[in-house]
Amino acid sequence: MGKHDILPQDDSVDEPKVSIKNLYKIFGDDPEAQMDAVRSGMGKPELMDQTGHALGLNNINLDIPARKIQVIMGLSGSGKSTLIRHLNRLIEPTAGEIWVDGEDVLAMDDKQLRDLRRFKMSMVFQKFGLLPHRTVLDNAKYGLEIQGVSDKEADERAVKWLERVGLAGFEDQYPSQLSGGQQQRVGLARALATDAEILLMDEAFSALDPLIRTDMQSILLELQEELHKTIIFITHDLDEALNIGDNIAILRDGEIIQSGDPQDIVMNPADDYITDFIRDINRAKVVRVRSIVKKGATGAGVTIKGTLSLEQALPKLHAAPDGCCPVVDKNGKPLGAVTLDGLIDALKAPESDGDDDVRYA
Amino acid sequence: MSFFTEFPSLGRRELADFKQGIDEGFRTFSRAYGEDLEAFFNPLLKFMVWFEKLLTDAPWPLVILCVALLTWLGARSWKITLGSILSFLAIGYLDMWEDTMATLAIISVATILCISIGIPLGILMARFNRAQTFITPVLDVMQTIPSFVYLIPVVMLLGIGKVPGLLAVCIYALPPIVRLTNLGIRLVDRDVMEAADAFGASTKEKLFGVQIPLALPNIFAGVNQTIMMALSMVVVASMIGVNGLGVPVLRAISNQYLALGLMNGLAIVVLAIIFDRVSQTYGKRLQAYRENGHG
């Protein structure tokens, strides 16, 4: 049985785990014929009007680092579910490249592709995708069964993972007897049991109600602290993206419009679309102190860590005599200082450049 | 103006020649291959004779015991088991035992034959749209063409007897199992299929691990329909020499024996009800997972 807490080997190498290059997907009768037009800049609505083809993905370039949670976020119709299905080729691209661990996924034959899906990538689905005629245990070991793992070992591993996601004792039930949250735990256990390094999560928590959703996010983060998998997580929920993402890529009309770490997106939204997006988030919880630090400054208050959220830092700043606290990074190195005013300033949602009256008229 | 009042049909002579040509052609074919075909079906015939003898020769208490056991295993219901025991006792008491056994024999063989041909055919149809395009009209013809019409070539080829009777029954009873297998597989949830794909399941693993198990309710409805349709063909089959409950019914029709017709007809109904209840409850039992659903 594999140990799951072994630290990955090549921590130093910056080689991305998954690399997507110039990826295009056009839906329609003759997608290849539209490639020239799309390459020369034709957008989604024009392509639809002129040729009746739908532009699913438009020149996607994304490097996904190993052992991090990469969130791909967008509203419905933005192409995010299409994108994730390209990684294990549930959908074939019209043009472009997909590399996983330096291997060209599009060059794989059926057998290699099956092995990729069996051993390297596992997937969690929005609608769970559980097999209704199998018990919870048999569902959790489905991937192992297909890998050809012996029945006994598969049972042991499946039981272990069901336990890890908090479903001990449910082994003999059928999916229809479980709640949505429990069903998705089965889906998660099934995906984790295969020991695949890459976990694809397609709106995995979107069908759950908000409390259970946060619950599942914590489970995922807890597991990730130990497992260090490369997780590609699709969501339409910005709070969720900010909560779990190490990196976030925002997709609109099949194009990535901003990609970076969550702080970056919140503090420096690339355009009005994203500004609108982040307008309603709880900035006190999301923005970290390190994002608003004034370099070189210092203060009379207690020293605080840059990873604290503004909400957590507020009482300390308030207590400081001059309303100013020195900030250090997670290793204790001084970063500068924050002021109470600076903090309050950061709580204001950014204004979009466009004229609101016009845009919403 | 006669063009408009009389349909411009083929001349009488040409038509006669046309029909004769077909008849002659088929007769030549039947003369050339009839014996080979009979030889081909010979093992089937031997099996049917053996099976019918087995049922009619076996001591009746043993047969009833077997029936009770099978219904119990299938349905797990005392009511259905008791009902079938009582029905068989009544059938025997009214002196229809042998005919019932003969009917039971041909229905069983026909059902097994239909299932073993129909399910693979249904899978093929679900797999390839082209297969569906070709097979569907054939099934339509099989279901709607009057059975007497295909009895003619069957009898011309194979004479009268058990095998042509069996073929006639199967032609009529095959379509539902094929259709419902196809439908059942096509109705399997796409999300579940996608999950199987994402975990790297091969075509075979998807078929036997996901599609067939999830299509079982429909496949069972198909088996059930096939049995019912086979039973409804009993009287027609008896016209071309198949033993069983159809023979007395036929006699009753030509002689206006009301009681005889009614009794044997009802015996067919009783068989149908037993088959139906057992196969349906068995099908339901297979999908216990659908119960107490959260939705």
pLDDT digits (tens, 9 = 90+) for B89-132: 999 999 999 999 999 999 999 999 999 999 999 999 999 999 99
pLDDT reported for residue A295: 85
B residues 31-70 lying closer than 8 A (beta carbon) to A: none
What does the DSSP assignment read for A122-155? EEE-TT----TTS-HHHHHTHHHHHHT--HHHHH
Query: Which residues 177-196 of chain B have a CB within 8 Å of chain A?
Result: 189, 191-192, 194-196
**Residue A283 three-state SS:** helix
- Which of A130, A146, A202 would you mutate first to test chain B, the one with the most B CBs within 10 A? A146
- CATH for B278: 1.10.3720.10
Residue B193: closest CA among chain A residues belongs to which residue? A129
Task: Identify the pLDDT of residue B284.
Answer: 84
CB of A158 within 8 Å of any CB in chain B? Answer: no
Residue in B187, B199, B203 to test binding to A, most A beta-carbons within 10 Å: B199
**Residue of chain A whose Cα is closest to the Cα of B287:** A133
Could you give the residue range(s) of every CATH 3.40.50.300 domain in chain A? 64-278
CB interface of B with A, residues 93-132, below 8 Å: none
Q: Nearest-CA neighbor of A261 among A289, A241, A283?
A: A241
Q: What is the pLDDT of residue B283?
A: 83
Q: How many residues does chain B have?
A: 295
Does pTM top 0.80 for this prediction? yes
User: Would B37 be classed as within a structural domain?
Assistant: no
Q: Which residues of A touch B195 (CB under 8 A)?
A: 123, 125, 129-131
Helix B258-286 vs helix B246-255: crossing angle, to nearest 10? 150
If you average pLDDT over residues B152-181, what whole number do you get? 92
pLDDT in tens, B263-289: 999 999 999 999 999 988 888 887 767
Rounded distance between C-alpha atoms, residue B89 and residue B95, angstroms:
10
- The torsion defined by the Cα of A123, A129, A130 and A131, in degrees rounded to 10, comes to -120
Chain B nearest C-alpha distance from A183 (Å):
11
Q: Which of A86, A113, A124, A142 to mutate to test the interface with B (most CBs of B within 10 A)?
A: A142
Q: Do B294 and A143 touch (CB under 8 A)?
A: no
| Residue B292 maps to a domain | no
> Which residues of chain A are under the pLDDT cut of 50?
1-12, 355-361
Mean pLDDT (chain B) is: 92
pLDDT: is B292 or B81 the higher one? B81
A283-347: what fold?
Answer: CBS domain Like (3.90.1280)
Cβ atoms of B218 and B87 within 8 Å: the answer is no
Q: Which domain holds residue B261?
A: 44-287
A64-278 belongs to which CATH class? alpha beta
Nearest-by-Cβ selection for B294 from A88, A123, A176: A176
Neighbours of B76 (CB within 10 A): 13
Q: Is the pLDDT of residue B290 over 80?
A: no
- For residues B15-19, give the mean pLDDT: 93
Q: Where in chain A is the domain with CATH 3.90.1280.20?
A: 283-347
Mean pLDDT for B82-88 is: 95
Question: From edge to edge, which strands make up the β-sheet containing A334-339?
Answer: A304-305, A324-328, A334-339
Residues 6 or more apart in contact with residue B172 via CB below 8 angstroms? B142, B143, B147, B229, B230, B232, B233
Report whether B136 contacts B107 (CB < 8 A).
Answer: no
Number of separate domains in chain B: 1
pLDDT band at B1 (very low <50, low <70, confident <90, very high): low
Does the beta carbon of B14 lie under 8 angstroms from any beta carbon of chain A? no
Question: Measured between CB atoms, which of A113, A129, A177 is closest to B195?
Answer: A129
Look at residue B181 in the predicted model and tell me its pLDDT. 97
Tokens, residue A167: 């479903």
Sort residue B127 into left (φ over 0), alpha (ψ -120 to 50) or beta.
alpha
Residue B14 in any domain: the answer is: no
Distance between CA B50 and CA B53 in Å, rounded?
5
> Residues of chain B with pLDDT > 70: what percent?
97
Residue of A nearest to B213 (CA): A133
Residue A112 near chain B (CB below 8 Å): no
Contacts of A180 in chain B (CB under 8 A): 294
Of B192, B197, B199, the CB nearest to A143: B199
- B197/A90 touch (CB, cutoff 8 Å), yes or no: yes
- Report the residue from A119, A146, A176 with minimal CB separation from B201: A146
- Indicate if the pLDDT at residue B240 is higher than 60: yes
pLDDT at site B95: 92
B12 touches chain A (CB under 8 A): no
Q: Under a CB-based contact definition with an 8 Å cutoff, are residues B265 and B176 in contact?
A: no
- State residue B250's pLDDT score: 93
Query: Looking at the domain assignment, is residue B244 inside a domain?
Result: yes
